[in-house]
Amino acid sequence: DTGVSQDPRHKITKRGQNVTFRCDPISEHNRLYWYRQTLGQGPEFLTYFQNEAQLEKSRLLSDRFSAERPKGSFSTLEIQRTEQGDSAMYLCASSGGQGARMNTEAFFGQGTRLTVV
């Protein structure tokens, strides 16, 4: 395991369809993040897990979005009833560390590029 992996790398879907993305973090990392990046912008935080607990959600995460990390390992991000505005790169990141070094750097995957047509 050399890094964060995301699947699929690209997804084209019709408006109104549901899509699900998967993220496999670095194996020893207990924290996992989802971000969304649109063209010309920096990544924007969506949600954060510590182990299997979802501890933080951005207001960007509408009711159509749901994320899970059932066993504290991989995570899925589902978007229901996709809209054209959901077209973006969805990035997953993981980080680890204990105690005073809890706020360590996050390592990112290559992202899933979603196009809603």
Partner 1 sequence: AQKVTQAQTEISVVEKEDVTLDCVYETRDTTYYLFWYKQPPSGELVFLIRRNSFDEQNEISGRYSWNFQKSTSSFNFTITASQVVDSAVYFCALSTTYQAGTALIFGKGTTLSVSS
Among the listed ranges 15-23, 54-62, 66-74, 80-88, the one in contact with partner 1 (CB under 8 A) is: 54-62
For residue 84, the 8-state DSSP code is G
Alpha-carbon gap, residue 112 to 97, rounded angstroms: 26
Burial class (CB in 10 A: 0-12, 13-18, 19+), 93: buried
Taking CB under 8 A as the criterion, which residues in 62-91 touch partner 1?
89, 91
User: Is 45 among the residues that bind partner 1 (CB under 8 A)?
Assistant: yes
Query: In whole angstroms, how close is the CB of 81 to partner 1 at the nearest point?
Result: 25
User: Is 43 among the residues that bind partner 1 (CB under 8 A)?
Assistant: yes
User: Is 104 among the residues that bind partner 1 (CB under 8 A)?
Assistant: yes
Alpha-carbon gap, residue 61 to 43, rounded angstroms: 14
Sheet of 75-79: strands edge to edge? 5-7, 19-24, 75-79, 65-68
User: Is 33 among the residues that bind partner 1 (CB under 8 A)?
Assistant: yes
User: Is 61 among the residues that bind partner 1 (CB under 8 A)?
Assistant: no
Contacts with partner 1 by CB under 8 A lie at 31, 33, 35, 40-45, 48, 50, 55-56, 58, 89, 91, 93, 95, 102-111, 113
